Amino acid sequence: MMEKSLNEFEQRFRSLEENYKVIQNTIAEAAVKSGRDLKDITLLAATKTVPVEVINHGIELGIDHIGENRVQELCEKYPSYDLAHCELHFIGHLQTNKVKKLIGKVSMIQSVDSVKLAEEISRVSLSRNLTTDILVEVNIGKEENKSGVLPENLKDLIEQIAVLPSLRTRGLMAIPPADTDEKETQGYFTKMHQYFVDIRAKNIDNVNMEFLSMGMSSDYSLAILSGANMVRVGSALFGSRIYK
């Protein structure tokens, strides 16, 4: 049975190995152009719909951050992740009634966009004697149907979150509007980097601007050139998603 399973995944393993090398090289090149090094950029593998066997092979290759978009999928896979060698993040939209399913399982929640959500993460974390790291998601394109705090409300939100117990704000996350050209996308990335720098300069207690998470499969190199130090790559790493 094990041999059969390995054969089923062999092609995906080989493809992942090749893609990972290409992505590492691309990240290294972009990092150098931006005055940094490969080690300064965190590659987070976005693993929505990806089988655990494939994810764990990626971890064997050296991937040390993975991220899931859906609470149910994360919980189903959780017992099988190789988390001894990898951090697990939640990167999708999160409803307050599902927070309790994540606390204690994930190292970071990257999609906090309201005081209400932050308060629930704080409440559950405190009740379990844990501290949860978060990123604040910014709706950089001010899109009506997209989650994230509006840029003009970002500073106020961060200051309100900063006083909550059992919570640590460690940076910002954003997804620019889709279907924009490279110049427009770079403009959004540049704005995000400026917000990141400005908030870091304020030295708000319990707020450490360590991570600027932006850039995905189609634009992660551009994001790094614009100041990102964490990129979330899915299809470029694992191939097109297979929905069941």
CA-based nearest residue to 220, from 35, 41, 96: 41
Phi, psi of 133, rounded to the nearest 5 degrees: -85, 140
Quote the pLDDT of residue 6: 57
User: Across-strand partners of 87?
Assistant: 65
CATH number of 2-238: 3.20.20.10
Quote the pLDDT of residue 243: 55
Question: Nearest 10 degrees: CA dihedral of 69, 73, 55, 20?
Answer: -20
The end-to-end CA distance of the chain, in Å, is: 23
Tokens of 75: 């919980």
Tell me the Cα Rg of the chain.
18
Quote the pLDDT of residue 3: 45
Quote the pLDDT of residue 240: 80
Quote the pLDDT of residue 1: 36
Tokens of 178: 């889709």
CA-based nearest residue to 142, from 134, 133, 151: 151
Quote the pLDDT of residue 242: 64
Looking at residue 38, the DSSP 8-state letter turns out to be G
Tokens of 15: 């493809």
- Taking each helix axis from N to C end, the angle separating 2-33 and 52-61, rounded to the nearest 10 degrees, works out to 50
pTM of the shown model: 0.94
CB 41 within 8 A of CB 229: yes
Q: How far apart are CA 149 and CA 137, in angstroms?
A: 6
Note the pLDDT tens digit of each residue in 105-136. Answer: 999 999 999 999 999 999 999 999 999 999 99
Q: What is the pLDDT along the chain (244 residues), one digit of tens a residue?
A: 344 455 778 899 999 999 999 999 999 999 999 999 999 999 999 999 999 999 999 999 999 999 999 999 999 999 999 999 999 999 999 999 999 999 999 999 999 999 999 999 999 999 999 999 999 999 999 999 999 999 999 999 999 999 999 999 999 999 999 989 999 999 999 999 999 999 999 999 999 999 999 999 999 999 999 999 999 999 999 998 765 5
Tokens of 227: 């100041």
Quote the pLDDT of residue 109: 98
Residue extents of the structural domains in the chain: 2-238
